[in-house]
């Protein structure tokens, strides 16, 4: 057994929300998903500590398999123990709400999207993404104790570009970019941080730095579309973090 096993009497659990979604109640948070999408949400961390280990551990399996449920409910309690460093990471598959896989059959993430169906999670339109989308087909959410995406003491490499992005850490394996809050789409109170190398990612964190979301796309790609990924990521966060007010993750 893992040394991470909690002594809390309150085990992680599932509950049905008034809108019909199923919420995983864990570490003081509620991660909500449509019931028929639970198989598209996988546990990315911590490592499953019991044997035998399933080849793929989805929330659907966690909810339906008593042996797996008992193991994980001991590992990850529903409340957050004070001073704990327990964490949870979920990998959510991106797909279209009409059931079509993303990317569409016979196409890649570098092909324009043909369907008009909204994308899940977040229910955002394909028109909200750059053309071509380049969006990687998983988004990561969790309780991760992340406050920033990069060291704020890394000096800026010159002034912002014409879109407002300021590069940090030039010459390092990956570059980091920061966009001021007033340049972001919609209402935002924090600057946007983007990491970019062979792929790029927008990282959102909650106001208390306790939970996070990461959305990735194939890079390098034109910076003109980065704000669209940022707006999509915030829609996704609002759709999943049921215990957080809208806009809390930025």
**What DSSP letter does each residue of 74-95 carry, written as one string?**
HHSBSS--TT----EEEEEE-E
> What does the pLDDT read at residue 9?
44
The neighbouring-strand residues paired with 243 are: none
Global pTM reads 0.89
Positive or negative torsion for Cα 211, 157, 223, 187: positive
C-alpha 166: how far from chain center: 24
DSSP class of 111: S
Q: What are the start-end ranges of the E strands in the chain?
A: 13-16, 22-26, 29-33, 41-45, 88-93, 95-96, 119-120, 135-143, 165-168, 175-179, 192-196, 199-205, 211-218
The answer to whether the beta carbons of residues 223 and 134 sit under 8 Å apart is no
Can you give the pLDDT at residue 155?
Answer: 73
Q: For residue 196, give the nearest of 172, 213, 180 by alpha carbon.
A: 172
- From the list 134, 147, 136, the residue with the least C-alpha distance to 249 is 147
Q: Tens-of-pLDDT digits for all 250 residues of the chain?
A: 233 333 344 678 899 999 999 999 999 899 999 999 999 999 999 999 999 999 999 999 999 999 999 898 878 888 877 777 789 999 999 999 998 999 999 999 999 999 999 999 999 999 999 999 999 999 999 997 554 444 555 677 888 999 999 988 666 666 889 999 999 998 899 999 898 888 999 999 998 888 999 999 998 778 999 999 999 999 999 999 999 999 999 9
Cα–Cα distance measured from residue 75 to residue 159, given in angstroms and rounded to the nearest whole number: 47
> Which pLDDT does position 3 carry in this prediction?
31
235 neighbors 123 (Cβ within 8 angstroms) = yes
User: What is the reported pLDDT for 229?
Assistant: 97
Tell me which residue of 141, 34, 136, 45 sits closest to 92, measured CA to CA: 141
In Å, the largest CA–CA distance within the chain is 56
Cα atoms found within 13 Å of the Cα of residue 210, Cβ hemisphere only: 16
Q: How far apart are the first and last CA of the chain?
A: 36
Do residues 180 and 164 make contact, with C-beta atoms less than 8 angstroms apart? yes
pLDDT for res 172: 63
pLDDT score of 147: 44
């Amino acid at each position: 057994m893992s040394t991470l096993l909690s002594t809390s009497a309150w085990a992680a659990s599932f509950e049905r929300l008034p809108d019909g979604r199923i919420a995983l109640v864990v570490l003081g948070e509620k991660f909500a998903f449509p019931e028929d999408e639970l198989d598209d949400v996988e546990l990315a961390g911590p490592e499953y500590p019991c044997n035998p280990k399933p080849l793929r551990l989805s929330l659907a399996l966690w909810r339906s398999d008593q042996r797996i449920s008992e193991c994980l409910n001991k590992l990850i309690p529903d409340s957050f123990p004070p001073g704990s460093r327990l964490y949870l990471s979920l990998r959510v598959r991106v797909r279209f709400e009409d059931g079509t896989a993303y990317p569409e059959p016979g196409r890649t993430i570098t092909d324009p999207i043909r369907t008009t169906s909204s994308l899940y999670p977040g229910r955002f339109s394909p028109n909200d993404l750059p053309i071509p989308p380049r969006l990687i087909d998983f988004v990561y959410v969790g309780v991760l104790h992340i406050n920033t995406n990069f060291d704020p003491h890394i000096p800026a490499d010159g002034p912002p570009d014409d879109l407002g992005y300021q590069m940090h850490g030039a010459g390092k394996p990956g570059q980091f970019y920061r966009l001021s809050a007033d340049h972001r789409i919609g209402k935002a109170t924090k600057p946007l941080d983007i990491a970019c190398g062979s792929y790029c990612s927008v990282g959102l964190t909650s106001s208390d730095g306790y939970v996070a979301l990461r959305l990735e796309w194939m890079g390098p790609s034109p910076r003109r579309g980065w704000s669209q990924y940022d707006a999509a990521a915030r829609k996704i966060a609002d759709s999943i973090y049921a215990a957080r007010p809208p806009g809390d993750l930025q």
